[in-house]
Structure 1
Amino acid sequence: MHKTLGFLTVLLVTTLARAGEAPPLPALKIDPARTAVVGLSSGAYMAGQVQMAYPELFPNAALVAGGPYGCAGGKLEVALGSCMKGVPAPGVAAMVASATRRSAAGEIGALKDLAHARVYLLHGKGDALVAPAVAEAGAHFYEQLRDGTPGLKAMQVHDDGQRAFAHNLPVAGKGDDCDKSVAPYLGHCGFDAAGEIFAQMFGKPAHAASAAKGELRTFDQDALRPGGTDVFLADTGYVYLPPACLAGKPCGLVVAFHGCKQNAAAVGKAFVEDAGFNRWADVYAVAVLYPQTRASFAPLNPQACWDWWGYSGADYDTRQGVQLRWVVNAVRALGLPAGH
């Protein structure tokens, strides 16, 4: 009896300790005028999906080594071929037409909410995984959407594709991995991509970034499942809170989506600590949410990619997509006002 009680006590304490490791997201004073989604590779496709599905929440997006919205069309073979290798070339005009129809049908957000959007597309000339032509198609998608949709003339589209780096996120330091695509997929290229992303999304900085002085916290991702539905994410995610946010001041919000094989289970805290976003978050007073995927074989996603081809369901890239609805739940929990 005593042994049983002892075992139950240990089990309860262990369970409580585990639960304590991943608390809920903190409630912040989020400024809805300063929000953006960013991502690398599958995370770039995910960022584009969030932007197109919920432009009223996230009109601004920075896509690193990603292609046009709706590229895969729900087919893995298309994702692996046209949307990564660029063969056959993505049909941009058809994707723009599809996005326009889907917006009118309410499957994605209202295009008018992109009227003052800022879109930054960064990709390396040495990328052998996502062909430069695919990233260029991503830029053409936004350009054609802007030029062909009434009211979007002010949308800013910056195509930054002339830098020499491989399939990675460039960081400020220099090293021998800039021309390689190796874990943790942070290329030491002497180019601070995070700083350029923040400048593109929110304007020139007030001062240079130094070491991050805020707090990187874990949070319970399962608690944010829409209707309890499995969204194929890890149990725990990360959020970075700069000093201004911790002090209760209004702050912006960036949701940063890692790439395939770049989740915490694969690379530890490399992406959430070393990508450079946290340093600039301090300068701009912007919280950074780092959601984390999980690898699985059913559905088939062994590299822990974000869903940009349909493994989570046929509506994966719409307002009904489970991962997209999870993101909305997360930013609402952080304090993004319900009116936006």
Structure 2
Amino acid sequence: MRYLTGLLCGVFLLSGVACADEAPPLPKLKLDPAKVAVAGLSSGAYMATQMQLAYPELFPSAALVAGGPFGCAAGRLDLALSTCMKGVPAPDAAALAAKAKQRAASGDIGALKGLAHGQVYLLHGKDDAVVAPVVAETTARFYEQLRDSEPALKSLKVTDDGGRVFAHNLPIAATGDDCDKSVSPYLGHCGFDAAGEIFRQMFGKPARDASAPKGELRRFNQDAYRPGGADAFLAPTGYVYLPPDCAARKRCGLMVAFHGCKQNADAVGEAFVNDAGFNRWADVYDVVVLYPQTRASTAPMNPQACWDWWGYSGDNYDSRQGVQTRWVVDAVKALGLP
């Protein structure tokens, strides 16, 4: 059996497909729980807000690019495709905030007081034809509703950066002709360094400018962190970026970066994990970047390898019991988050 497994892995490698058996587990690092954030594009933005609301004690800060408010889809794909993407009708921020408070009170998601000193940065382009600007604007109203209705959250900072002109993509510092398009690998050459602004919003003013990354991008076995052995509908292999000082056991921060639909490694190779711009800023801020990877499937129906923000992994997908939310918690704990 070991011979056959090795032979199959060899075939996969020749064809450019990753084999989980070749990837090691995550390294055990020294991570600072006071310097942690989640970020994501599109379905990855929805996943980031789900992680923040489900586990605010771990992820008090979030950067959301072209994403909508927590709980928007309510487990319904039709609602996800209409209200939560096209904004027809627009999501009801007040109702969603009230529902989130109810779910927090029941323990379905985390205690909202965990967001007290967090940061929320919302970036969305005026030319986004995939997730309508009104949806992202509702996300800002959702967080403002939570902040203004909960005395414990008066220090929660919400920044709505919606005045920039770009399409449904993650803007990068380089310039080109695709900023107004939504085309693979969904990194728009806009002359705006979204990754740098995300780091600044999450962790403060940088000590210096970023240069080419000098750390190490490692692959790791994602199947090792299946919660209770359950399938989280992820790819066999994920990525983690270690700045030089973090690999040398310095106490470092952590950012979990969620790709968008059709932006996983099976679809775009290492474009997102190498070229989005996070790694060079990770060196500046001494922040490890975890890049989990989804997989496409027909059963459940997820052909574009989106993160689960409408319920394909189960009814509890956006709660503390969701299989993907629990996978992320298991992975960051394995990485060294207390």
| Same topology, TM > 0.5 | yes
Question: 2:109 and 2:21 mapped to 1: Cα distance?
Answer: 36
What secondary structure, in the 3-state scheme, does the structure 2 residue paired with 1:301 have? coil
The question of 1:107 aligning with 2:100 is answered: no
Alpha-carbon distance change, 44 to 9 in structure 1, aligned in 2, over 3 angstroms = closer
What secondary structure, in the 3-state scheme, does the structure 1 residue paired with 2:325 have? helix
Alpha-carbon distance change, 19 to 259 in structure 1, aligned in 2, over 3 angstroms = closer
Question: 2:2 and 2:318 mapped to 1: Cα distance?
Answer: 45
Alignment of 1:120-159 (within 5 A): 120-159=121-160
What secondary structure, in the 3-state scheme, does the structure 1 residue paired with 2:139 have? helix
Question: What code does the residue aligned with 2:87 have?
Answer: G
Q: Please state how far the C-alpha of 1:14 moved relative to its aligned partner.
A: 3.6
Alignment of 1:9-88 (within 5 A): 10-11=3-4, 13-14=6-7, 18=19, 21-88=22-89
Greater Rg, structure 1 or structure 2? 1
Question: 2:5 and 2:264 mapped to 1: Cα distance?
Answer: 29
Identify unmatched segments of 5+ residues in structure 2. 11-18
Q: Deviations over 1:288-315 (max 9, x none)?
A: 0000000001110000000000000000
Q: Please state how far the C-alpha of 1:92 moved relative to its aligned partner.
A: 1.0
Q: Deviations over 1:211-267 (max 9, x none)?
A: 000000000001100011011000000000000111110000000000000000000
Who is 2:261 aligned against?
Answer: 260
Alpha-carbon distance change, 93 to 26 in structure 1, aligned in 2, over 3 angstroms = same
Question: 2:192 and 2:6 mapped to 1: Cα distance?
Answer: 47
Q: Please state how far the C-alpha of 1:9 moved relative to its aligned partner.
A: 7.1
What secondary structure, in the 3-state scheme, does the structure 2 residue paired with 1:256 have? strand
Question: What code does the residue aligned with 1:153 have?
Answer: K
Q: Provide the aligned C-alpha RMSD in A.
A: 1.2
Identify unmatched segments of 5+ residues in structure 1. 1-7
TM-score normalised by the chain length of structure 1: 0.95
Question: 1:47 and 1:145 mapped to 2: Cα distance?
Answer: 17
Alpha-carbon distance change, 320 to 12 in structure 1, aligned in 2, over 3 angstroms = closer
Question: 1:182 and 1:12 mapped to 2: Cα distance?
Answer: 36
What secondary structure, in the 3-state scheme, does the structure 1 residue paired with 2:122 have? strand
Question: 1:317 and 1:151 mapped to 2: Cα distance?
Answer: 23
Question: 1:278 and 1:13 mapped to 2: Cα distance?
Answer: 32
Q: Please state how far the C-alpha of 1:16 moved relative to its aligned partner.
A: 8.0
TM-score normalised by the chain length of structure 2: 0.96
Who is 1:4 aligned against?
Answer: none
Alpha-carbon distance change, 211 to 227 in structure 1, aligned in 2, over 3 angstroms = same
Question: What code does the residue aligned with 1:157 have?
Answer: V
Alpha-carbon distance change, 215 to 129 in structure 1, aligned in 2, over 3 angstroms = same
**Deviation beyond 2 Å, 4+ runs, structure 1:** 8-21
Question: 2:64 and 2:58 mapped to 1: Cα distance?
Answer: 17
Alignment of 1:1-340 (within 5 A): 10-11=3-4, 13-14=6-7, 18=19, 21-337=22-338
The number of aligned residues is 330
Question: 1:87 and 1:9 mapped to 2: Cα distance?
Answer: 54
Q: Please state how far the C-alpha of 1:91 moved relative to its aligned partner.
A: 1.1
Question: 1:92 and 1:9 mapped to 2: Cα distance?
Answer: 54
Question: 1:39 and 1:162 mapped to 2: Cα distance?
Answer: 19
Q: Please state how far the C-alpha of 1:12 moved relative to its aligned partner.
A: 5.4
Q: Deviations over 1:180-214 (max 9, x none)?
A: 00000000000000000000000000000000000
Question: What code does the residue aligned with 2:121 have?
Answer: Y
Question: 1:186 and 1:259 mapped to 2: Cα distance?
Answer: 11
Who is 1:5 aligned against?
Answer: none
Question: 2:247 and 2:45 mapped to 1: Cα distance?
Answer: 28
Q: Please state how far the C-alpha of 1:150 moved relative to its aligned partner.
A: 1.6
Question: What code does the residue aligned with 1:309 have?
Answer: W
Q: Please state how far the C-alpha of 1:127 moved relative to its aligned partner.
A: 0.2
Question: 2:9 and 2:138 mapped to 1: Cα distance?
Answer: 49
Q: Please state how far the C-alpha of 1:147 moved relative to its aligned partner.
A: 0.5
Question: 1:14 and 1:238 mapped to 2: Cα distance?
Answer: 24
Question: What code does the residue aligned with 2:85 have?
Answer: M
Q: Please state how far the C-alpha of 1:21 moved relative to its aligned partner.
A: 2.3
